[in-house]
A and B are shown apart, each in its own frame.
Chain A
Amino acid sequence: MKRILSIITILFLGFLASTTTYAQDRFPRPDFESGYQYPATHYAIPNETLWLFVDVFLLVLMMGIVAWAVIRKRTRKPVFWVSVISVAYFGFFRSGCVCSIGSVQNVALALADKSYTIPLAALLFFILPILFTFLFGRVFCAGVCPMGALQELVNVKNYRIPRSVSAVLGIFPWIYLFLAILYAITRTGFIICRFDPFIGIFRLSGDIGLLIFGALLLLVAVFTGRPFCRFMCPYGALLNLFSRVSIWRAKITPSCINCELCHKACPVDAIRAPYNNKVKESRVQGVKRVLLYTIFLPVMVTVAALMMRSMSDSISRANNDVRLYDMVQGEATPKDHPVPELESFYGAGGTVVELKERVDVILADFKLYATFAGGLIGLVIGLTLLGLSVKRSRKSYEMDDAQCVNCARCFSYCPQNKIIENKIQ
């Protein structure tokens, strides 16, 4: 699939920008007697401003459509078509870059490193879905995100994952998020982009391991809703937070008859069934237990922070400069074939002392940020366990706003919703 390009040409002859002098002038430039003209060469540059405009326009439009369909009309059809368009446009046509999930790293880097200028596309793709989530719930996840949309479109059956298992698996997006931020702000790399399981499918090429992983995830997505969104997506973890406090949101049909059809239809287990808490426990006892766990929380934070701090050395090995320093240190043992990294390092006039200074700064950064990341991971684990220990009785079906991705499947299953719909017509 080729991009349609608006082409701007740069003519070789008119190009005088380069100020660097090149060492290799071994042969004089020929004087042609036959009137030979240098061939004019031009290179195409895509018009990114235009694409940025189209991308952001579609992003906002589609999130608006989902919000209208879910909150106003309570119907699934527009959400489905938004998913199809998103997979086609953001997925296959735009090849999935830049996406909101990856933009987390650009934002983290921009906040940590003042010398980095965040591209406007990354900024808008980060902030707009968060803003819409704050206003209308996770309308971005519903079908505007091509990865969510792809999983949504292949989903057929909903085998339920036990609540305790899905809660524990729900910790992983947070770990992934904190690690991604850690690697982004130390300028090590963007791991979210690197291990994106679906981008290979959208581009129809890529790392074979990731392609297989993506295909496996899609296979799982056929039988249980959105495994990537629920148990991996780091941006989903952020939206999960904002969705809890959103101003407008999808609601259970007011005239609910407790028929459990919506509960069975929900692919992400976001509709909680009525539940009668059998644990006989007085209120004071319950409060005491929760307080005890809360006191335990700082202990978990500290332990996790110290664990990550002790691991910071091995985590930092992903950094190119740290690896280069290791290579320089290990150089004493002669190698059969030259290492391109070392050749370039010495070729560019690099000195070991200078490199060591640079690496020391990186290692110190890793130690500091890994401690923070560890603490946050401990906090998430602690809060998840705390959440699991609290059992609340429910008389009717309730929406779990944090989990709900606004796919609107429940509306098409709700018999009461059908009645309301018919009345409107």
Chain B
Amino acid sequence: MNTTEQSNPNPVTRRNFLRMSGSIVAGGAIASLSGVLMKNSLAGETDYFWQIDPTKCTYCGRCETNCVLSISAVKCVHTHKVCGYCDLCGGYYRTNVKDLNTAAENMRCPTGAIKRVYVEDPYFEYTIDESLCIGCGKCAKGCNSFGNGSLYMQVKQDLCKNCNECKISKVCPSNAIQRVPYAKAYILKD
């Protein structure tokens, strides 16, 4: 121990010197990194929200089961302007049902979230009860296969936790879930 101190009279100074040069390198790194990143961040519009592009969505049903929330933040939305107000609705009834009544076995929606209201002959209005919707996409698939496609899936931004990386986007077979800017937080049909 003594020999070490004799042969190296100023160990603290050397350590301090190393530390100081380290500080300078680290400070420079922080300054340049924040400069580059700031430039990047302010250059383009930040895409902040996750949203489903309804033109790409294939209604595979993975939104229901892959969201980090126990009940998915993805819900079915309905654009009434696109809807045909059909009596025989592909999103409301299952295919090949025997009797057109509201018995559970005839319903497309597993939770009964679609409300059907008579408007005038022969039109019926359909609305989604969001509190019941689980985002399985069955009605949207039916509507897009047999109807106008007025039912489709969207991420509800008030429910979405806005994960740094959306878990559903990683399992989406058609890459339909992308980041969107604030102005396009919902991609709606019209």
Contacts and interface: CB of A to CB of B under 8 A. Distances in A.
Interface string A307-346: 0000000000000100000000000000000011101110
Interface string B170-190: 100111000000101111111
Contacts of B146: 26
Contacts of B175: 320
Contacts of B77: 41, 43
Nearest to B165: A190
Interface in A84-115: 95, 97-99, 102-103, 105-107, 110-111, 114
Interface string A114-148: 10011110110011001100100000000000000
B81 A45 contact: no
Interface in A23-71: 23-30, 32-34, 36, 38-39, 41, 43-46, 48
Interface string A237-249: 0000110111100
A30 B148 contact: no
Given A27-B148, A282-B3, A127 B34 contact: yes
Nearest to A106: B164
A255 interface: no
Contacts of A111: 36-37
Interface string A268-308: 00000000110000110000000000000000000000000
Number of chain A interface residues as a range? 35 or more
Nearest to B185: A45
A127 B30 contact: yes
B40 A118 contact: yes
Nearest to A52: B48
Nearest to B53: A20
Centre residue among A105, A118, A244, A339 by max chain B CB count within 10 A: A118
Given A203-B69, A344-B58, A344-B174, A30 B41 contact: no
A344 B81 CA distance: 27
Given A44-B157, A127-B33, A205 B170 contact: no
A110 B40 contact: yes
B173 A190 contact: no
Contact of A102 (B54, B86, B164, B174): B164
A12 B46 contact: no
Contacts of B26: 134, 241-242, 245
A276 B4 CA distance: 13
Contacts of B22: 244-245
A194 interface: yes
Given A39-B125, A117-B44, A193-B163, 13 more contacts: A10-B185, A12-B79, A24-B147, A25-B148, A26-B146, A29-B82, A46-B157, A118-B46, A189-B165, A283-B8, A340-B173, A340-B174, A347-B174
Interface of B: 1, 3-4, 7-8, 19, 22-23, 25-27, 30, 33-34, 36-38, 40-41, 43-49, 54-56, 58, 60, 62, 68-70, 77-86, 119-120, 123, 125, 127, 144, 146-149, 154, 156-158, 161-165, 167, 170, 173-175, 182, 184-190
21 contacts: A10-B185, A10-B186, A17-B184, A22-B54, A25-B82, A27-B148, A29-B83, A30-B84, A36-B119, A45-B49, A45-B185, A105-B164, A110-B41, A114-B40, A117-B46, A126-B37, A244-B19, A245-B23, A277-B1, A344-B56, A344-B58
